[in-house]
Amino acid sequence: GAVVSQHPSRVICKSGTSVKIECRSLDFQATTMFWYRQFPKQSLMLMATSNEGSKATYEQGVEKDKFLINHASLTLSTLTVTSAHPEDSSFYICSAERPGATTDTQYFGPGTRLTVL
Amino acid sequence: SQQGEEDPQALSIQEGENATMNCSYKTSINNLQWYRQNSGRGLVHLILIRSNEREKHSGRLRVTLDTSKKSSSLLITASRAADTASYFCATDSSGGSNYKLTFGKGTLLTVNP
């Protein structure tokens, strides 16, 4: 099956610093990746859609200057949380759409737990 | 508006019993999917049902879809302790190239041994 990895799995940072999270599709090329945020005991909220070679499409209410997304290759998308604050602490999950898949499914990474002190 | 509302929010059953979770949504959909998430982990795709389908099976899973009521149900039969997880429904109501999933709030299922 399709495998998506994320790195790091956990990160703790100080308030005001920036954190980069990587999302990789390991055995397929993903032209489209998605970034979600999940607060404790809540659902996944789509933050943005990342398209290879073009600008990301952000959902309403998500600050594009705070959550920088780069999809520089067909197997890698990165999310950078800039000037992180404690309220940015959350579980960030990426997913990738597999071209040519027979079903409209997204393959999810294992998530990154961000804690901002 | 919130798409994909699951109920119950939490369900606790004994091993061997069946577990039923429901999902309601508000807009027209292309398909509806169910995902499972173990605590602090990523999501695992369980099953997809298209808008023109009414029922689908996969192993111990049975999913129904009623587009007239804008609702779906996920039935897990003969539950096991390892089924303990959160279960989310997600709807795809996009058109053309604007594909995205909208997730419900989830049902936390606890299967007691």
pLDDT of residue B96: 58
Average confidence (pLDDT) over A38-66: 91
Gap from A95 CA to chain B (nearest CA, Å):
9
Number of neighbours of residue A36 by Cβ within 10 angstroms: 25
Q: Give the one of A43, A97, A103 whose C-beta lies nearest to B105's C-beta.
A: A43
pLDDT of residue B41: 87
How far is B48 from B72, CA to CA, in rounded Å? Answer: 11
Question: Quick check: A105 and B45 CB within 8 A?
Answer: yes
State both tokens at A11. 């990160």
Q: How confident is the model at residue A103 (pLDDT cuts 50, 70, 90)?
A: low
* pLDDT mean across residues, chain A: 91
* pLDDT mean across residues, chain B: 89
10 Å CB burial of residue A102 (0-12, 13-18, 19+) is exposed
- CB of A11 within 8 Å of a chain B CB? The answer is no
Question: For A7-16, what is each residue's pLDDT tens digit?
Answer: 999 999 999 9
Q: What percent of chain A has pLDDT over 70?
A: 93
Contact A45, A109 (CB under 8 A): no
Q: Which residue of B has its CA nearest to A42?
A: B105
Q: In which residue are the tokens 């859609």 written? A: A49
- CB of A49 within 8 Å of a chain B CB? The answer is yes
How far is A15 from A20, CA to CA, in rounded Å? Answer: 14
Question: Quick check: A97 and B99 CB within 8 A?
Answer: yes
Whole-angstrom distance between the N-terminal and C-terminal Cα of chain B?
38
Gap from B80 CA to chain A (nearest CA, Å):
22
DSSP, collapsed to helix, strand or coil, labels residue B19 as strand
Question: For B43-100, what is each residue's pLDDT tens digit?
Answer: 999 999 999 999 999 999 999 999 999 999 999 999 999 999 999 999 987 665 567 8
pLDDT of residue B2: 38
